[in-house]
Amino acid sequence: MPVDLSGPLMSAFKKAKREYEEASQRGDMETARKKALECARILKQLSKYDEFNRESYLKKAKKWEALAKDIESGHFRKTKTKPMKEGSARPEKGKEEESEEDKFNAYVRNNLIAKSKVKWSDIGGLDEVKALLMETVVIAALQRPESIQPWKGILLFGPPGTGKTLLASAAAGSLNATFFSVKASSVLSKYFGESAKIISALYEVAREEAPSIVFMDEIDSLTTKRSGEQSEASRRMLATLLTELDGFQDKKSDRLILTLAATNTPWDLDEAVLSRFPRRIYVPLPDKKATKEIIKINTRGLDISKLDLDAIAEESVKRLYSGRDLKNLCQAAVWNMIREENPDLHKLAELPFEELRKRSLRTRPLEMRDFEEAFKKIKSPLTKKDIERYEKWAEEFGG
């Protein structure tokens, strides 16, 4: 399948347009003329990759060519506006030519950028995975030989609830990087061609806001294996994503744009997508040591001196609990304690909020019986056969 270069070409167009405007404002009309012709050339190339907007791109290309002729003939002088009015070769104030691209960029800024306050210390266990991600962000910032480059794409795979999203949040939070949290629902559009444009805008904004961590949760929802049944819009979106993941615009750049992707079903991913994530890390269920750390994190502020953490961890590992299951286990145990110490808690719901703020919740140290009750309520959806499948895939394709 031909590679869709519309994303990188649009970035190149915006750069040429910006340079045209700067040259025009300072009165360097020869440079402005050359940049206008460059804009026209790029728009013609864009028309080859976007059949839906082909005519629009070609019309705009003609306007830029006409603008270059105006400049050459001396009929055009410097401007401070960002044109172009439909049917005119000249700029018009308030009519931004790239309003559509601006719209998608604004969508990304308003909907896909999230604040992350998660730190590495907030994650129990997963020491090897954390070490790799830490190395990646550190190398990106250090002075280094040209041949040493940080990973650009890392795939985190494993059972649900093992901390893949938390790892991505910690990478962004610890680095104080711009964090783009991307789900299929925020990218897939019912309108033809829009999904590809959102992907293009995503990486355009990520470059502008670098250092950036782009986290694609459940990437299998976006990039399942290609087949004859796949729609043209889906193929175009996938092609755009593959091009952006190649990141050829950033190969010699010091900007950190790290794409972290997570999936619970790595075997469903398109082979071309896998090739863009050379580092594939299995995020397993927590072992006994990690389980104890997770329990401590999720019971902060409470007295756990009466707990036998080894016994709880051993039972949790036997039940194939994920990190999410362990969090739910701790919550169930805590609520068992709360209800026992505050039997009439629900009756306080009749009081106004200001009155509730004057009162305190009664607590006691957590005990093993609290966790015994919690074990009855928390069930893992995983089986040993499921874990064996992940381990086999990791052995065959992980790296």
| DSSP structure string for 348-370 | GGGS-HHHHTT---------HHH
Model confidence pLDDT, tens digit, residues 345-363: 888 888 888 888 888 889 9
**Residues ≥6 apart with Cβ < 8 Å to 141:** 211, 256
Q: Which SS3 state, helix, strand or coil, does residue 89 take?
A: coil
Q: What is the pLDDT of residue 323?
A: 92
Q: Confidence class of residue 8 from pLDDT cuts 50, 70 and 90?
A: confident
Q: Which of 82-91, 149-158, 311-320 has the lowest mean pLDDT?
A: 82-91
List strands edge to edge, sheet with 153-157: 113-114, 178-182, 212-216, 257-263, 153-157, 279-282
Structure tokens at 198: 């959102």
Q: What is the pTM of this model?
A: 0.69
Model confidence pLDDT, tens digit, residues 314-332: 999 999 999 999 999 999 9
Question: How far is residue 33's CA from residue 274's CA, in Å, rounded to a whole number?
Answer: 43
Q: Up-side HSE of residue 245: CA atoms within 13 Å toward CB?
A: 24
DSSP string across 70-115: HHHHT-----SS----TT-SS--TT--TTHHHHHHHHHHHHHTEE-
Structure tokens at 230: 């796949």
Q: Confidence class of residue 293 from pLDDT cuts 50, 70 and 90?
A: very high
Q: Which of 86-95, 198-207, 233-242 has the lowest mean pLDDT?
A: 86-95
- Whether the pLDDT of residue 123 is over 90: the answer is no
Q: For residue 20, give the H/E element and its range.
A: helix 6-25
Task: Identify the CA nearest to 57 among candidates 43, 41, 40.
Answer: 43
Segment 360-384 mean pLDDT: 94
Structure tokens at 23: 């040259």
Q: Report residue 327: phi and psi, to 5°.
A: -60, -45
Segment 92-104 mean pLDDT: 58
Amino acid at 349: A
- Most confident residue range from 91-105, 308-322, 353-367: 308-322
Of 337 and 82, the one with more pLDDT: 337
Q: Which of 242-246, 248-252, 256-260, 325-329 has the lowest mean pLDDT?
A: 248-252
Q: Which of 51-60, 88-97, 252-261 has the lowest mean pLDDT?
A: 88-97
Q: What is the pLDDT of residue 70?
A: 86
**Residues ≥6 apart with Cβ < 8 Å to 151:** 136, 258, 278, 279
Question: How far is residue 313's CA from residue 293's CA, in Å, rounded to a whole number?
Answer: 10
Residue 215 near residue 168, CB atoms below 8 Å: yes
* Helical residues (DSSP H) of 223-287, grouped into ranges: 232-246, 271-275
Segment 106-125 mean pLDDT: 86
Q: What percent of the chain has pLDDT over 70?
A: 85
Rg value, the chain, Cα:
27
- Whether the pLDDT of residue 60 is over 90: the answer is no
Mean pLDDT, rounded, of the chain: 82
